[in-house]
A and B are shown apart, each in its own frame.
Chain A
Amino acid sequence: MKLAVLILDGPYNHQAPDSAYNFIQAALKKGHEIIGVFFYDDGVINSTKLMEPPQDDRHIGKRWSELGKSGIDLVICIAAAKRRGIADDVLIENARISGLGQLVDMAVAADRLVTFGD
């Protein structure tokens, strides 16, 4: 199945990015295709490379970046990012900032859009 993922909440503050990540891993293992991950609302904060969690904790930003490196399209909403101080200079590698139209494209192209957040 072609899946698109929408993440609406920030890292560490909310379980949503963890659940989304675990969901994506499980879906890939089952042979599904992730056509893209869209970060919106506070979800855009997942994409800052400035985050520096304690060493014994998971590094959510790095985790996303590695997923992006594996070829999954990580799209950060530009309008939501601008509000929250996220721009290309602080963006994790293997992610890109783009418009909300990308979310619509993903929703149209995917068999299912799966949303994580409050």
Chain B
Amino acid sequence: MEEEELVQKKMMFVMRKAPHGTIYSYEGLEVVLITAAYDQDISMAFIDDGVFVLKNDQDTTGIGIKGFMKTYFALEDYEVEKLYACNESLAERGLKKEDLIDVNIQFMNRSEIAKLMEEQEVLFPF
């Protein structure tokens, strides 16, 4: 077998949409999981309505679709450990830290997230 040199890039997944209502957030998460298997330097930023993804106690039985929140608790197993939530987006939507799921989230201002985006080599907007 030919040996291929593993190229690792800084890749940020930008979750901008509510978890339900459209499939973008869910299918975006699927790309995160696959990318993790490729040993990339992954981070996720939750901005705009994307912060709703992190809301605790989500129950999708009423809308008749399979939820995917459990996957967020497993992200650490995939070594996806850099989760950034936008302070302004949370405040605009009346969300407080205690409303969010119990995973390791770093809270940042818009300008700090913008700076992190600039450092990325690949941005996946979902």
Contact = CB atoms under 8 A, between A and B. Distances in A.
Nearest to B22: A118
A117 B22 CA distance: 13
A115 B124 contact: yes
B62 to A, nearest CB: 22
Contacts of B37: 101
Contact of B40 (A41, A79, A108): A108
A115 B28 CA distance: 13
A41 B125 contact: no
What band does the interface of chain B fall in when counting residues whose beta carbon is under 8 Å from A? 10 to 19
Contacts of A40: 27, 31
Interface string B23-37: 110010011001101
B40 A104 contact: yes
Interface string A38-60: 00110000000000000000000
Interface in B6-44: 7, 9, 11, 22-24, 27, 30-31, 34-35, 37-38, 40
What DSSP secondary structure best describes chain B's contact surface? mixed
A98 B22 CA distance: 23
Interface residues of A, number: 18
B9 A108 contact: yes
A107 interface: yes
A118 to B, nearest CB: 7
A118 B48 CA distance: 13
Given A113-B122, A115-B125, A104 B27 contact: no
Interface in A85-116: 99-101, 103-104, 107-109, 113, 115
Interface of B: 7, 9, 11, 22-24, 27, 30-31, 34-35, 37-38, 40, 122-126
Interface of A: 6, 8, 40-41, 79-80, 99-101, 103-104, 107-109, 113, 115, 117-118
